[in-house]
Amino acid sequence: MKISSIIRALACATVLLYWPAAQASVWTVGDLYSSTAFSSTIRHYDAKGNYLDSLTLGAAYGDDVKGMAFGANGLLYAVSSKDRDMAVTALDSEGKVHATYSGPGFIAGDLSYGNIAFGRNGQFYVAGAENLVAFTPGDRVGRVIYQNNQVYDVQVLPSGNLMVLTVDALEEITPSGQWVRSINAPWLSYGRGLEYDPVNNDLFVTMVGSPGSFFQLTRVDGTTGEVEATSSYWYGADLLLTDARELIVGSQAQAAGLFDLNLNFQGTLPGDADIFLAQYVRPAFAVPAPASAALLLAGLAALLATRRRHLHAR
């Protein structure tokens, strides 16, 4: 086989490796997405919070849009309530559906049920009702890995373990659902939303609260649970720590609030109440790292060289 043929083959392999990612890179890094109660519309903002446009999930896929998160494949995974259970739909930026999933959990039972988080291995988790449901790539039906009274939110820790927020508890579990520890949280009262800051090992929590301390927004130490800062936001719900290290607080009753990490109020997103929030911060597809791509191409070159030797030996 001629050297020119090998070069052409390597070029083709490179295109096959990287072309899908380039074609799928249509989300804009930093852009924000939100959803609200009883609506199948996903609102789209730029990184500064300016409203851009929206897309709507078809009625066949669910009754609404709740929690959202981006997968490593560049698709937006939107949680919905459907037929008294949960549904998850994977969408591209044009609103085209690429995959659907289902799992147990009456997430229509509360406006803040239905938060979603992705693990490192592509597995994702949905919180709602009494269940935390895990979904594995290639399996369209989720399985319950954790149960408790009113499971509202979940975050993936640097260890790969999960931090789960219930109405009155913060618990760390393994990806398979085994209990690891509970955080001492006497301050926790009717929890709703959870966010984790891996830089400072902080947890941010929204709560309905109790008389005298309604609608608390709290930052606590991720190891001890010690309160570090407090604020409040009316009917605070989902939380999003942006890539600019700003905290956005969703709400069931007003526009999402913007806070710094010391919980000082900075303003709001435009429009109506945004309960759930997501931001696009990852490459559109899991493009192989340069070293991995080089290994793949080197392997192909070796195969072609072997083929060439066999031809010359004839």
Mean pLDDT for 271-300 is 62
Residue type, 178: Q
Question: pTM, whole model, 2 decimals?
Answer: 0.84
Average pLDDT score over residue span 159-183: 98
Minimum mean pLDDT among 2-6, 29-33, 123-127, 199-203: which range? 2-6
Long-range Cβ contacts of 58-64 (<8 Å, 24+ apart): 58/97, 61/87, 61/89, 61/97, 61/100, 62/87, 62/89, 63/108, 64/35, 64/37, 64/38, 64/39, 64/40, 64/108
Domain ranges of the chain: 1-25+287-314, 26-284
Question: Percentage of the chain surpassing pLDDT 70?
Answer: 82
- The backbone torsions φ and ψ at residue 222, rounded to the nearest 5 degrees and listed phi first, read -70, -10
Residue 65 has pLDDT above 60, yes or no: yes
Q: Are 109 and 41 in contact (CB under 8 A)?
A: no
Alpha carbon distances (Å) from 76 to 53, 141, 265, 309: 16, 18, 28, 47
CA of residue 213 relative to chain centroid, distance: 29
Amino acid at 72: A
Give the C-alpha separation, 291 to 155, whole Å.
30
Asked whether residue 281 carries a pLDDT value surpassing 60, the answer given is yes
67-79 in b/e form (b: 16+ CB < 10 A) is bbbbbbbbbbbbb
* pLDDT score for 169: 98
pLDDT at 252: 97
Whether the per-residue pLDDT at 264 is higher than 60: the answer is yes
As a whole number, mean pLDDT of residues 296-310 equals 47
pLDDT tens string 94-121: 999 999 999 999 999 999 999 999 998 8
User: Among residues 108, 107, 163, 112, which one has the least CA distance to residue 130?
Assistant: 107
Q: pLDDT tens digits for 7-62?
A: 454 444 443 443 444 344 489 999 999 999 999 999 999 999 999 999 999 999 99
5-11: list long-range contacts, CB under 8 Å, 24+ apart.
5/304, 6/301, 6/304, 6/305, 6/308, 9/300, 9/304, 10/297, 10/300, 10/301
Give the helix/strand (H/E) hosting 118: strand 116-118
**pLDDT tens per residue, range 209-259:** 987 889 999 999 999 999 999 999 999 999 999 999 999 999 999 999 999
CB 259 within 8 A of CB 246: yes
Percent of the chain's residues with pLDDT above 90: 78
Mean pLDDT of 172-179: 98
Q: Domain spanning 26-284: which superfamily?
A: YVTN repeat-like/Quinoprotein amine dehydrogenase (2.130.10.10)
Strand partners, 22: none
Determine which helix (DSSP H) or strand (DSSP E) holds 307, and give its type and residue range: helix 290-313
